[in-house]
Structure 1
Amino acid sequence: MPQDGTEHRKLAAIMFTDMVGYSALAQRNEAFALELLEEHRRLLRSVFPKHHGSEIKTIGDGFLVEFSSALAAVQCGIEIQEMIAKRNSANPPQGIFEVRIGIHAGDVVRRDDDVIGDGVNIAARIEPLAGAGGICISQQVFDQVENRLANSPKRMGQVKLKNMMRPLEVYWVGYEGAASGPPDLVRANKSSETQKSIAVLPFLSMSSDPENEYLSDGLTEDLIMAFSRLKGLRVPARTSSFAFKGRNEDIRRIGQQLNVNTILEGSVRKVGSRLRITAQLINVAEGDHLWSQTFDREMQEVFAIQDEITRAIVQALEMQLIGAGDQPLPKHGTYNTDAYQLYLQGKYHFYKFTGEGFKRCIECCKKALQIEPSYALAYAALSLCYQTAWFYGYLSFEEKLAAIGPHDQAAEKAVELNPNLAETQTALAIVTCWNVRDWSRAEDCFKQAIKLNPNYVTAHEHYAGFLACMRRTDEAITHARLAQQLDPLSPMIVMHTGLAYLFIHRYDLMLAQAQTLFDLDSNFFGTYWISGLAHWGQEMREAAIADLRKAVMLGGGPVQLADLGCLLGRLDRKAEAQRALEDLAELGKRTYVQPAYLGFVHASLGNHDEAFACFEQGLEHENASVAWIREYCIFAGLDRLRADPRFPALLKKIGIEP
């Protein structure tokens, strides 16, 4: 439309929308707020054209939309709210967003691409009255839609608006899934509730023997998992809580960073078989203690202590936050304290994330299972350790095969012993997804894990990867965001969220994740890996090469080196790409390198026979990387490889569509 300043006066229905709580969310987590805003905009823009709505402009986190009829505007608003309600019902509380909508019909002035006038101003001023998830309409709109909706609008009353001489009658529009009435009639408006949340900080080990640190760490993690299974309570995951281990920070600052309103901290002292455990629950806003207690018991009573702490916290919070009545406490995986201590030692070594740590974890879990053969959690931990060590090259395919046989019998055994734990279902989901590629069974396991514990971050993290591989990008992003909300200070989770954007080509959001990573740890290899891939996608090739080189230098493994080699090959810098291949081969003498990584570099150099040989070997080795061949080849522009007749046959073996 020409920008000639011409004005046209007309009658129209005007819709104003607003994303509830966006400003506060942006202050707490700018990157996540941006991601949620983008999803919100994508969803709403899919509805406007269905009702012949004309998007005039975005105003911050809201929309100004023009309709030719009041009925079309209201029907559009109803569809938007029903769609968002359905989307939110599939997500835990920390992953939802809500919208307010205001609609007025009246005289407006169209000036170039904008709309101005009293009709616009009234729609903007009644929008906040709608409440979260609500639709507020003026008397003028009500007169046109009163008998034409499935649910008759409810009168809210008269309101005095700024710069209006007379009060305005406003109404609230109901829809499927809406609250039972307008905001002033609903006793407990969902959006006004304080988010129920608790962070469990690492318990301090007071034992003289540093070897007993596993016990304080293990008790902390068990309490995190116990609270995460309680409905209506948001609990930051282990990595975010343990980011404060050994740091003397103000409770208010910790609460702000983790976005919680209560914090549990304590200490553990073990002398022989005697335990002294202290615990205290702190109100973040006031800094005062809601509850505290000291437990002097025998080691044999450690499970009873955990139950008492969990029950005491639920009771202490119930008056403040929960109000949900008694909830069953999660069951322990074993009551054999020797097996339990070995399990905790195994988890302690696992989180060192080193080759030696993985080895010690495997040893401890196996010893625990010798004592307690029915210990499902130990089998799940063993499976996760095998998979992680193998994926990151600390365990060769031959060693893995010799240790656990084809696929992963530990995961199968874990679910067989206890199918009602998120940990066991997730362990099996990871194996069936990335190794066996039984996509249907993998998704069933992921869904069951999340149903059992919506706060289990590992399930959301791997399910997001699965969904991205299946090209279900909106769902993938939802679960990646949820994982990041549950574990906001985990560099690995932030990195994986960035990767979720790679295959939908949202390089701007990838760079936002890279900035978050830089703020968390400027020396983390993933910071430069994510920014390198984003710059590659934006065709900022020299910046991409520099970033990927730095990722490799900072400790990135075979995958980062392969990305660098593939990019160099695509830029016809063959000598440098060949050197990357040689470096991968040399690295393979010291650690396990998934064959597909070499295949990507070969493909970039036009060595298709070698590339397909590598991919076939990756299939034989049950590598996770083969699941990404289709998407990676599209991203990297390996079009000649994709045009090869062998490529569709390869994808068929993997079990995905071309």
Structure 2
Amino acid sequence: DPATRYLSDGMTDELIARLGRIPTLRVVAPTSSFSLRGKPMDVREAGRLLGAGKIVEGSIQQSGPTLRVDVALVNAADGYELWTDEFTADRSEMFHIEDAIAKAVVQKLNLPPAPLPIQPVSREATINPQARDFYQVGLEYLNNRDPDDISRSVAYLHKSIQVDSGYAQAWAALAMAYAVMRSHQADEPPDTYYNDALAAANRAIALDASLPRAHEVLGLLDDQHWKWREAAREYRQALQVDPSDATAHQWYAIHLWFMGRMQAALREMQVAHHLDPLSPIINADLGRALCYAGHPRASLAQYRATVVLAPRFALTYAFMAETDLAMGNSRQALANASTAVTIWGQPSEYSLAEIGVSEAALGRKALARKELDALQQRATRQYVSGVLLAWLYWNLGEKARTFTQLQRAVRDHDFVMMFVFGPLGAGVRADPRFAGIRKSMNLPLQETQL
């Protein structure tokens, strides 16, 4: 029922968060779980797509203030129901239902009862029911990862906090919304939402220091401000509480790219993919991780699999062009970058840079300069990453301008700097002037590859 979907999504997200904290249990992330919502699919097929041995499924019916939740634990191999039950409670007592379901699932899976570090019911019992409703709607929008929906998420999460300023999970979700908003609005400076995200994450931690989402947001914000030691500590803390947090594994992998630890980064991204196998961005990032770790052919295979999973996800083609360029296949890079433009409907700054670099590699410098001119013109109207301008300058032989733009990117806390640490940035990193960039980013002056 669309009218109660936010309730079922909220309960699903909460159950995933609770069960994901059990170290011996792998719990599929919300992104992948929600991608199958509403699709007529046999539970055995769902289990195959998710890589899950057991599936919890259920439904919510509302009659006035009363909720009825039907839930079942199903063996994905044969569709056999291992356990079913029905729960009825007032809407304000949803946390009691979530608590009972989580404990029942653990019991039916024959897991030791001790490792279920669920949030105490006494803490949730104080949450205002209206605040929880606003939170769950905001969470539903946040999980969509659509630019307009992220803005809607922020609005609803603010409503939740206005009703109950002590709602730690709402603050953590708001921090996440602000943290990812900039990646969907690249025409704004990198730090546009930094202070908002930082304040929300710190408030969440002050209310409940155990929330993984707040710690992973702090980790990302520390990374973006070149605070590497602090970022690593936040990611580890998030993963210590919730080992099944796919986003924390994904962001920690990106952190390791900056550290030059490409093999460790690949392992973290593989874990993220294992936990969230149907997430388009994690699938695309796995392709990038394979490329950065020195496996370009495996990278291309992963991108092709991602295209099958999400044919209209443009970043897959943009990232694939990066691997093509690393392999010296400039014509294919140009084709993939152009496909990304077709899907987006207009050239992004990233695709303009990729097309320009591909043209330069093909010896067509005039066409490369045309893309550079387009980027420079765009920069008069909106923010354009210094990294992308630097990439074009480097491939056009303008090294001084390359480093001028990289210095600007570092000052701006431009996270596109991650690209410089991949294979296409090897020439830039070998230039003696890059030592100054590393120093400005609080990185060791000597590069290490692990």
Structures share fold, TM-score greater than 0.5: yes
Deviation of the 1:535 alpha carbon:
2.0
Larger radius of gyration: 1
- 1:301 counterpart residue number: 93
TM-score, structure 1 normalization: 0.62
Deviation of the 1:549 alpha carbon:
1.4
Deviation of the 1:589 alpha carbon:
7.5
Deviation of the 1:466 alpha carbon:
0.8
**CA spacing shift, 1:395–1:407, aligned 2, 3 Å:** farther
User: Any conservation in 2 of the 1:495–1:527 contact (CA below 8 Å)?
Assistant: yes
Q: Does 1:393 align with 2:185?
A: yes
Question: Given the alignment, which residue of 335, 339, 342 partners 2:134?
Answer: 342
TM-score, structure 2 normalization: 0.89
Secondary structure of residue in 2 paired with 1:489: coil
**CA spacing shift, 1:505–1:597, aligned 2, 3 Å:** same
In the alignment, the residues of structure 2 paired with residue 351 and residue 327 of structure 1 have an alpha-carbon distance, to the nearest angstrom, of 25
Q: Does 1:537 align with 2:333?
A: no
Question: Given the alignment, which residue of 68, 72, 76 partners 1:276?
Answer: 68
- 2:293 counterpart residue number: 504
- 2:160 counterpart residue number: 368
- 1:380 counterpart residue number: 172
User: Any conservation in 1 of the 2:257–2:418 contact (CA below 8 Å)?
Assistant: no
Could you report, residue by residue, the CA deviation over 1:92-118 in whole angstroms, capped at 9, with x for unpaired residues? xxxxxxxxxxxxxxxxxxxxxxxxxxx
Greater CA drift, 581-590 or 356-365: 581-590
Secondary structure of residue in 1 paired with 2:293: coil
In the alignment, the residues of structure 2 paired with residue 589 and residue 215 of structure 1 have an alpha-carbon distance, to the nearest angstrom, of 45
**CA spacing shift, 1:528–1:233, aligned 2, 3 Å:** same
In the alignment, the residues of structure 2 paired with residue 280 and residue 407 of structure 1 have an alpha-carbon distance, to the nearest angstrom, of 37
User: Any conservation in 1 of the 2:187–2:384 contact (CA below 8 Å)?
Assistant: no
**CA spacing shift, 1:404–1:454, aligned 2, 3 Å:** closer
- 1:112 counterpart residue number: none
Deviation of the 1:590 alpha carbon:
7.8
| Percent identity of paired positions between Structure 1 and Structure 2 | 28
User: Any conservation in 2 of the 1:282–1:290 contact (CA below 8 Å)?
Assistant: yes
Structure 2: tracts of 5 or more residues without a match: none
Residue identity in the other structure for 1:346: G
Could you report, residue by residue, the CA deviation over 1:582-626 in whole angstroms, capped at 9, with x for unpaired residues? 443566688754332222223322334443343333233222123
**CA spacing shift, 1:233–1:493, aligned 2, 3 Å:** same
Residues 497-646 of structure 1 correspond to what in structure 2 (within 5 A)? 497-555=286-344, 557-585=348-376, 592-629=383-420, 631-632=421-422, 635-636=424-425, 638-639=427-428, 643=431, 646=433
User: Any conservation in 2 of the 1:404–1:410 contact (CA below 8 Å)?
Assistant: no
Greater CA drift, 289-298 or 541-550: 289-298
User: Any conservation in 2 of the 1:627–1:654 contact (CA below 8 Å)?
Assistant: no
Aligned residue pairs total: 440
Deviation of the 1:461 alpha carbon:
0.2
**CA spacing shift, 1:552–1:395, aligned 2, 3 Å:** closer
In the alignment, the residues of structure 1 paired with residue 410 and residue 139 of structure 2 have an alpha-carbon distance, to the nearest angstrom, of 30
Residues 89-168 of structure 1 correspond to what in structure 2 (within 5 A)? none
In the alignment, the residues of structure 1 paired with residue 425 and residue 366 of structure 2 have an alpha-carbon distance, to the nearest angstrom, of 19
In the alignment, the residues of structure 1 paired with residue 380 and residue 342 of structure 2 have an alpha-carbon distance, to the nearest angstrom, of 19
Residue identity in the other structure for 1:287: G
User: Any conservation in 2 of the 1:264–1:280 contact (CA below 8 Å)?
Assistant: yes
**How well do the aligned residues superpose, as a CA RMSD in angstroms?**
2.6
- 1:652 counterpart residue number: 439
User: Any conservation in 2 of the 1:411–1:431 contact (CA below 8 Å)?
Assistant: no
Secondary structure of residue in 2 paired with 1:351: helix
In the alignment, the residues of structure 2 paired with residue 404 and residue 514 of structure 1 have an alpha-carbon distance, to the nearest angstrom, of 31
Secondary structure of residue in 2 paired with 1:263: strand
In the alignment, the residues of structure 2 paired with residue 406 and residue 259 of structure 1 have an alpha-carbon distance, to the nearest angstrom, of 37
User: Any conservation in 2 of the 1:433–1:439 contact (CA below 8 Å)?
Assistant: yes
Deviation of the 1:386 alpha carbon:
1.5
Deviation of the 1:265 alpha carbon:
0.9
In the alignment, the residues of structure 1 paired with residue 132 and residue 356 of structure 2 have an alpha-carbon distance, to the nearest angstrom, of 45
- 1:242 counterpart residue number: 34
Question: Given the alignment, which residue of 225, 228, 248 partners 1:459?
Answer: 248
Question: Given the alignment, which residue of 209, 212, 220 partners 1:430?
Answer: 220
Q: Does 1:495 align with 2:284?
A: yes
In the alignment, the residues of structure 1 paired with residue 392 and residue 55 of structure 2 have an alpha-carbon distance, to the nearest angstrom, of 48
